[in-house]
Amino acid sequence: MPTLFRFLFFCGVIAGLVYGTMIALVTFVEPVERNVTVKIPSERVNKTQ
């Protein structure tokens, strides 16, 4: 039983670290806005019938 408790404790610590890292990224990292231009070929827009 002690090895099961140790394994679950280890998994809990890893999950806590991952969760804490995600919260820190959401809190401290600000996304940068920028313009995006996508060129569409004229063959896709003006289809000949």
30 Cβ contact partners less than 8 Å away, ≥ 6 residues apart: none
C-alpha pair distances (Å), 13 with each of 1, 19, 22: 18, 10, 14
> What is the value of pTM for the model shown?
0.57
pLDDT in tens, 1-49: 789 999 999 999 999 999 999 999 999 999 899 999 998 887 777 776 5
pLDDT value at residue 48: 66
pLDDT value at residue 49: 58
Q: 3-state DSSP call for residue 35?
A: coil
- Enter the DSSP assignment of 36: -
CA 43 from centre of chain: 35
pLDDT value at residue 33: 93
